[in-house]
Amino acid sequence: MDNLARAYLPRIAGLALASVSFLAVTAAEAKEITIWCWDPNFNVAIMKEAGARYTKTHPDVTFNVVDFAKTDVEQKLQTGLASGTADALPDIVLIEDYGAQKYLQSFPGAFAALSGTVDYSGFAPYKVDVMTVDGQVYGMPFDSGVTGLYYRKDYLEQAGFKPEDMQNLTWDRFIEIGQQVEEKTGKKMMGLDPNDAGLVRIIMQSAGQWYFDKDGKANVTGNPALKAALETVGKIMSANIYKPAAGWSDWVGTFTSGDVAAVVTGVWITGTVKAQPDQAGKWGVAPIPALSIDGATHASNLGGSSWYVLESSAEKAEAIDFLNEIYAKDIDFYQKILQDRGAVGSLLAARGGAAYEAADPFFGGEKVWQNFSDWLAKVPSVNYGIFTNEADTAVTAQLPALTQGTPVDDVLKAIDAEVSAQIQ
């Protein structure tokens, strides 16, 4: 027995050594890229599609797309960056455009600069601007939040309106229509979350203004677009043409349940609207209503986000190459995510493809993508600055006062006071 063991020992040892080194070699070659993002119907699904495409040509790279709620992604990212422990962070993270400058400026060196690798001239300039600090560009521009007015053709028809009546509305006309819709059908015109200033942002940007001016200084009391936006939201509230919603999922529920006749929001909601197959053919899309002030347009933007590579990532080179290969070059990829998810990318070259020409049966055969693409070109460019969250909170804090009849100028003063106290 003793002899037998002695005879086999070297072989066993050799086999063990061989398998260990085999594993080590595979481990060294296989790279896993961890990605944090939110929204399983949109960003997560799109990133999985992008990963699958890259893995086809680079079988050694695998992807781990982690789905969190948006606030959780932001919180985990901010905690990880602040703690300085890179282990806790992913390789690629999704950041909403409003917050991009905040992260880039308050955590210098945390994100990898992609200028030099990525050809940014192919992207919509406003997307590149929000990720530029001191001439360096960080991040890979992703989706646009170009806005539209989604409306239920069936409800509006019952109230006596045709799709033509929904084109090029003013906000006052929109409210009139809303009142008639409620009279005739008993349905509210829209869902509104009084804790979310999204609608104010949409209306304000459609007239080319933001909470901050081009230099990043607060632009509140002397901002005609913000004033008009607040007046409009005030009118919507006092006309009571909205169904109140508490939080995002509640708000989504207002239109997925068929309780409201219209939704004014970013194009990324298309996937959610289309997730209700029983409502196929009942929806139409029109440009958003415009204000009656100088610089007013029917085009605006809500949200939109981009991908960022962490400087500390062990797979930094692969992550950058992946984003560059798929998001900056793969036109076919953009066609697919547009058709499947309603993602309007900001790579300009992707806007000419067949998918943009296609008529969508869900929207009764309208060429909605062509429309969104036209509106995208008309979105007024503004400087989101670094304090949009703070200003947003100040606006939502004052919305109830607005409905209780406080004059808009007083509301603006209160917002200004809160914003000035917060931005230091």
Partner 1 sequence: MVHARRGSIGRYYDINGWLFVAPVLGLIGLFMIYPIVWSLWMSFQSGRGMMMKFAGFANIVRLWNDPVFIKALTNTMTYFVVQVPIMILLALILASILNNPRLVGRGLFRTAIFLPCVTSLVAYSVLFKGMFAPDGVVNSTLQAIGIISTPIPWLTNPFWAKVLVIIAITWRWTGYNMIFYLAALQNIDRSIYEVARIDGVPAWARFTHITIPLLKPVILFTTVISTIGTVQLFDEVYNLTEGRGGPSNATLTLSLYIYNLTFRFMPNFGYAATVSYVIVVLVALLAFFQFFAARERDK
Residues lying near partner 1 in the complex (CB under 8 A): 71, 74-75, 78-79, 81-82, 102-103, 105-108, 193-195, 243-248, 250, 386-387, 389-390, 393, 396-401, 414, 417-418, 421-424
**Whose Cβ is closer to partner 1: residue 122's or residue 194's?**
194
Among residues 154, 262, 137, which one has the least CA distance to residue 199?
Answer: 262
Closest CB to partner 1 among residues 239, 293: 239
Q: Which of residues 293 and 397 has its CB atom nearest to partner 1 in the complex?
A: 397
Question: Is the CB of 163 or the CB of 194 nearer to partner 1?
Answer: 194
H or E element at residue 127 = helix 125-129
CB of 221 to partner 1, least distance (A): 15
User: Residue 121 to residues 94, 117, 124, 327, 328: CA-CA distances in angstroms?
Assistant: 21, 12, 8, 13, 10
- Shortest Cβ 245–partner 1 spacing (Å): 8
Report the residue number, 123 or 308, with the smaller CB distance to partner 1.
308
Cross-strand bridge partners of residue 349: none
Q: Least separation, in Å, of the C-beta of 247 and partner 1?
A: 4
The torsion of the CA quartet 174, 179, 184, 188, rounded to 10 degrees, works out to 80
Q: How far is the CB of 161 from partner 1 (least distance, A)?
A: 27
For residue 11, give the H/E element and its range. Answer: helix 2-29
Would you tell me the crossing angle of helices 331-341 and 45-57 to the nearest 10 degrees? 150
Q: Which is nearer to partner 1, 222 or 247 (CB)?
A: 247
Min dist. Cβ of residue 190 to partner 1 (A): 14
**Min dist. Cβ of residue 96 to partner 1 (A):** 12
CB 181: neighbour CB atoms within 10 A? 26
List of residues 6+ apart from 240 with CB closer than 8 A: none
What is the C-alpha separation between 9 and 11, in angstroms, rounded? 5
d(CA 2, CA 233): 89
d(CA 182, CA 175): 11
Distances (CA, A) of 273 to 268, 361, 394: 10, 13, 30
Question: Which of 37, 169 has the CB closer to partner 1?
Answer: 37
Is the Cβ–Cβ distance between 27 and 55 less than 8 Å? no
Task: Using the minimum distance from each CB to partner 1, give the nearer residue, 9 or 421.
Answer: 421
| Dihedral pair phi/psi, residue 419, rounded to 5° | -65, -45
CB of 383 to partner 1, least distance (A): 15
CB of 393 to partner 1, least distance (A): 7
Q: How far is the CB of 195 from partner 1 (least distance, A)?
A: 4
Is the Cβ of residue 10 or residue 405 nearer to partner 1 in the bound state? 405
Maximum CA extent, the chain? 99
HEC profile for 364-404? CCECHHHHHHHHHHHCCCCCCCCCHHHHHHHHHHHHHHHHC
- Strand 188-192 relative to strand 242-244: parallel, antiparallel, unpaired? parallel
